[in-house]
Amino acid sequence: MSSPILFDNRAVEAALDMMSSAISGDEVYLVGIHSGGAEVADAIQGRLESRGVSVERGNLDISFYRDDLDTIAPHPLVRRSELPFDVAGKEIWLVDDVLYSGRTIRAAMDEIFDYGRPAAIRLAVLVDRGGRQLPIAAESVGLSIEAPADCTIELVTDAAWIIEQRQVKP
């Protein structure tokens, strides 16, 4: 049985265009959260650079900053965090694919502060699915949907961008 598609490629591309137009400045510091957020940050970076904006890019793996590391998997897939620029005093745009409870964003902010003290952290998310557990809000949201707690919202990028809803296995 296939998963319901919530947003097709056209909707996601339009959302990415809108998100990138909300990010201004001559020099932008984008930090994607592995793995979906890194893909979204790549897409935003391409759009910004096509407008002549200089973009510095980093990626974070927040696995060891999570407050639920012991419950997600016995052996989580850990990627390397890369912040090839000094975050101190910079306005950082943190990018993720789906915003839900806010816990991933909290973990990412904790990791950023381990690298230095930015002037500000802004949040850009492709999909806001509601259901916050922490007071976290994105400044740039591409798509919004109220999703039931018993499902996941996933970015799928096989050939084109789509957003799917899948039932959580009990």
Identify the pLDDT of residue 2.
59
Question: Tell me, what DSSP letter sits at residue 110?
Answer: H
Q: Which residues of the chain have pLDDT under 50?
A: 1
Predicted TM-score of the model (pTM): 0.90
> Is residue 159 included in any domain, yes or no?
no
What CATH number is given to the structural domain containing 27?
A: 3.40.50.2020
* Residue range of the domain that includes 77: 10-150
> Is residue 85 included in any domain, yes or no?
yes
Q: Are 158 and 146 in contact (CB under 8 A)?
A: no
Phi/psi of residue 17, each to 5°?
-60, -45
Residue range 16-66, pLDDT digits in tens: 999 999 999 999 999 999 989 999 999 999 999 999 999 999 999 998 776
Identify the pLDDT of residue 71.
56
Question: Tell me, what DSSP letter sits at residue 64?
Answer: G
> Is residue 83 included in any domain, yes or no?
yes
> Is residue 140 included in any domain, yes or no?
yes
Residue range 54-63, pLDDT digits in tens: 999 999 999 8
Question: Tell me, what DSSP letter sits at residue 65?
Answer: G
- Give the three-state DSSP class for 89: coil
Identify the pLDDT of residue 1.
47
Q: Are 36 and 60 in contact (CB under 8 A)?
A: no
152 DSSP β-pair partners: 166
> Is residue 65 included in any domain, yes or no?
yes
Give the chain's domain count: 1
